[in-house]
Amino acid sequence: MIDFKSRIYRLTRKIPRGKVATYGQLARMAGRPKSSRAVGYYMKVNPDAPNTPCHRVVASDGGLTGYSAQGGIAKKRKMLVDEGVLFCRGKVDLGKSLWQG
């Protein structure tokens, strides 16, 4: 049986270019719907970027929260834009770019 953290990283690797998932969405998909903060922590300490694309995980309102790699949130936004993620009023347009995993 794989642990919660491993499930989160496995799910994150499935998010395709041009799409995003939310912290809460990943927590629900991994069977622990109240653990979105843990998902955020796992993205922060992600040992396998870019193979585990933590930049594709965003807040439930489409906001770009912390990004620990060099360049911070500005780099996260650029990476998402370069991949084709759509934004509206400074946030990811979840209606168009949310992964339906």
Q: What CATH number does domain 4-92 carry, 1.10.10.10, 3.30.360.10, 3.50.50.60, 1.10.760.10?
A: 1.10.10.10
The catalytic site residues sit at 54
> Which residues sit opposite 22 in a β-bridge?
58
* DSSP letter for each residue of 43-84: HHT-TTTTTS-GGGEE-TTS------STTHHHHHHHHHHHHT
Nearest to 35 by CA among 45, 27, 25, 43: 27
Q: Is the dihedral of CA 37, 26, 34, 32 positive or negative?
A: negative
- Each domain of the chain, given as residue ranges in start order, spans 4-92
Tens digit of each residue's pLDDT, the chain (101 residues): 689 999 999 999 999 999 999 999 999 999 999 999 999 999 999 999 889 999 999 999 999 988 888 899 999 999 999 999 999 999 999 999 999 98
